[in-house]
């Protein structure tokens, strides 16, 4: 097969989210409309304007790795390792010598080892520099999750991190897709991970007026496309995909969950945090991704929206979808699953990519919960309140981020 002609398929999924500690738990929560947002338990929010987040509950890294291994991982790395375990287990892939050298790891994240940094800063102020942990340096960096995955599973191909704010997870999957497509590797473990829920991140995003302050009703706080939305809700977790070239997957008789058919990334070059009013960059990303996938707008049966529940993002994303899909936009099911998971920052695109794969595989579209007062400017079919059965042959996942990043992934049902 010529360089650049490799088809790329998905053979494994893994997830650790505020609504489930596995892919199956997360999926069941999504289709049943369960929300993982609640009052923050990991730190005292008395002095904070924002007191809610989507935290991962019941997660015990000791069930997966030794105490020594766990000590060498920030929480964001722990999530990534567990999600990668599940994805590799689902794929049935064995990391033998030849496979290991032809397997890459690409992990997206935005704020990296923030918990470790904050903990050690406190020690620095109280006890001085000699008391700083000797493993802080390798645990706080953005590549830490990928490094631990490589060490744990013996992966010896390209290994790097991607950081493009809230598009990081999608871009990591996209970069892995390109490596396989162009023959640089046969397999990639790709996704995103994030553990930002802590005092500094909550204070920072609150100061930027990006977070919801609906503290009196956490489960209703994240309401994409609703007229009463007032900001996003921070979340944490990880999503991982095992991607393979079609030849590699079929040669080992792997179950193929879906095909990753296209990817595109653009930048707005407009504003530090706001999208341009007509969504020009998002429009280009969706059109480019469809073109590279060899699909037309009419082929798409589902859109997983970025849908952050912020005033500008939801309105501009609606405008962009209408521009790309024309009159048909009103008939395409669109769901904002952040209404249940919260916004996992650099991990969110990976969770939503996995959701698209599961929609195609299972024939069910998750709802957008909390759309109680539809915004007249947001008039698409957001699958409000309840999941919907549907045959979906192709789906797109949108990720749009601070800094003007726009990343779009296109998945389709696998056909030989």
Q: What is the pLDDT of residues 161-171, one digit of tens each?
A: 999 999 999 99
Write down the H helix ranges in 236-379. 246-251, 280-293, 311-325, 338-341, 348-362
What is the model's pTM? 0.97
Decide if 248 is catalytic. no
E-strand ranges in 121-202 read: 159-162, 187-194
Residue 118 banded pLDDT, cuts 50, 70, 90: confident
Pick from 203, 221, 251: which residue ends a domain? 251
Q: What is the mean pLDDT of residues 18-25?
A: 98
221 secondary structure, DSSP code: T
Pick from 187, 219, 251: which residue ends a domain? 251
Q: What is the mean pLDDT of residues 113-124?
A: 87
Q: What is the pLDDT of residues 348-360, one digit of tens each?
A: 999 999 999 999 9
Whether 385 is in a domain gets the answer: yes
CB 165 within 8 A of CB 210: no
pLDDT of residue 83: 98
Whether 127 is in a domain gets the answer: yes
Whether 259 is in a domain gets the answer: no
Question: Is 189 found in the same domain as 238?
Answer: yes
Q: What is the mean pLDDT of residues 372-394?
A: 98
Whether 257 is in a domain gets the answer: no
Question: Is 337 found in the same domain as 277?
Answer: yes
Active-site option among 248, 343, 378, 405 = 343
Statement: residue 112 has pLDDT above 90: no
Mean pLDDT over each residue of the chain, to the nearest integer: 96
Question: Is 354 found in the same domain as 406?
Answer: yes
Provide the percentage of residues in the chain whose pLDDT is more than 70.
Answer: 99
Whether 256 is in a domain gets the answer: no
Q: Looking at the DSSP assignment, which residues form a beta bridge with residue 194?
A: 237
Statement: residue 1 has pLDDT above 50: no
The domain containing residue 173 runs over which residues?
A: 8-251
Question: Is 233 found in the same domain as 325?
Answer: no
Whether 34 is in a domain gets the answer: yes
Question: Is 315 found in the same domain as 195?
Answer: no
How many separate domains does the chain show? 2
Question: Is 286 found in the same domain as 214?
Answer: no
Active-site option among 35, 112, 166, 222 = 166
Instruction: Report helix, strand or coil for 240.
Output: strand
Q: Shortest CA distance to 297 belongs to which of 324, 279, 330, 322?
A: 324
Least confident of 135-139, 182-186, 388-392: 135-139
Decide if 166 is catalytic. yes
Whether 65 is in a domain gets the answer: yes
pLDDT of residue 3: 62
Question: Is 274 found in the same domain as 236?
Answer: no
379 secondary structure, DSSP code: -
Active-site option among 222, 306, 356, 405 = 306
Question: Is 279 found in the same domain as 176?
Answer: no
Question: Is 354 found in the same domain as 235?
Answer: no
Decide if 385 is catalytic. no
The helix, strand and coil proportions of the chain, stated in percent and rounded to the nearest 5, come to 40, 20, 40
Q: Rounded to an integer, what distance in angstroms lies between the CA atom of residue 8 and that of residue 174?
A: 11
Cβ neighbors of 107 (< 8 A, separation 6 or more) are 80, 143, 145, 146, 149, 161, 162, 172, 190, 191, 192, 193
Question: Is 162 found in the same domain as 106?
Answer: yes
Whether 349 is in a domain gets the answer: yes
Q: What is the mean pLDDT of residues 139-153?
A: 95
Q: Rounded to an integer, what distance in angstroms lies between the CA atom of residue 295 and that of residue 292?
A: 8
CATH number, position 316: 3.40.47.10
Question: Is 278 found in the same domain as 141?
Answer: no
Q: Shortest CA distance to 160 belongs to which of 117, 194, 189?
A: 189
CB 344 within 8 A of CB 333: no
Q: Rounded to an integer, what distance in angstroms lies between the CA atom of residue 109 and that of residue 77?
A: 10
């Amino acid at each position: 097969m010529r360089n650049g002609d490799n088809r790329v398929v998905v053979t494994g999924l893994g997830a650790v989210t505020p609504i489930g500690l596995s892919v199956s738990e997360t999926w069941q929560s999504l289709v049943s409309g369960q929300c993982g947002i609640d009052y923050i338990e990991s730190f005292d929010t008395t002095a904070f304007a924002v007191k809610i987040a989507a935290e991962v509950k019941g997660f015990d890294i000791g069930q997966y790795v030794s105490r020594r291994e766990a000590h060498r991982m920030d929480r964001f790395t722990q999530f990534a390792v567990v999600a990668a375990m599940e994805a590799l287990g689902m794929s049935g892939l064995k990391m033998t010598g030849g496979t290991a050298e032809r397997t890459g790891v690409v992990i997206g994240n935005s704020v990296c080892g923030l918990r470790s940094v904050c903990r050690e800063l406190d020690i620095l102020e109280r006890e001085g520099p000699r008391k700083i942990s000797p493993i802080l340096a390798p645990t706080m960096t953005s590549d830490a999750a990928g490094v631990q995955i490589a060490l744990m599973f013996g992966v010896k191909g390209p290994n790097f991190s991607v950081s493009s704010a809230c598009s990081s997870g999608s871009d990591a999957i996209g970069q892995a897709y390109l490596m396989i497509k162009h023959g640089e590797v046969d397999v990639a473990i790709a996704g995103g991970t994030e553990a930002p829920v802590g005092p500094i991140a909550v204070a920072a995003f609150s100061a930027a007026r990006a977070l919801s302050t609906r503290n009196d009703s956490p489960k209703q706080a994240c309401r994409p496309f609703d007229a009463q939305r007032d900001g996003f809700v921070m979340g944490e977790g990880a999503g991982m995909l095992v991607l393979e070239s079609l030849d590699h997957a079929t040669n080992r008789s792997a179950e193929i969950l879906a095909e990753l058919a296209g990817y595109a990334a653009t930048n707005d070059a407009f504003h530090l945090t706001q999208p341009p009013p007509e969504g020009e960059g998002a429009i280009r990303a969706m059109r480019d991704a469809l073109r590279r996938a060899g699909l037309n707008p009419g082929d798409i049966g589902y859109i997983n929206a970025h849908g952050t529940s912020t005033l500008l993002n939801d309105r501009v994303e609606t405008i962009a979808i209408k521009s790309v899909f024309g009159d048909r936009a009103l008939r395409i099911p669109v769901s904002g699953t952040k209404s249940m998971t919260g916004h996992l920052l650099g991990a969110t695109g990976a969770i939503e990519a996995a959701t698209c794969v599961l929609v195609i595989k299972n024939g069910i579209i998750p709802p957008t919960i909390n759309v109680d007062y539809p915004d007249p400017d947001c008039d698409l079919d957001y699958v409000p309140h309840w999941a919907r059965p549907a045959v979906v042959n192709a789906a797109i996942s949108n990720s749009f981020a601070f800094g003007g990043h726009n990343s779009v992934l296109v998945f389709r049902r696998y056909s030989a």
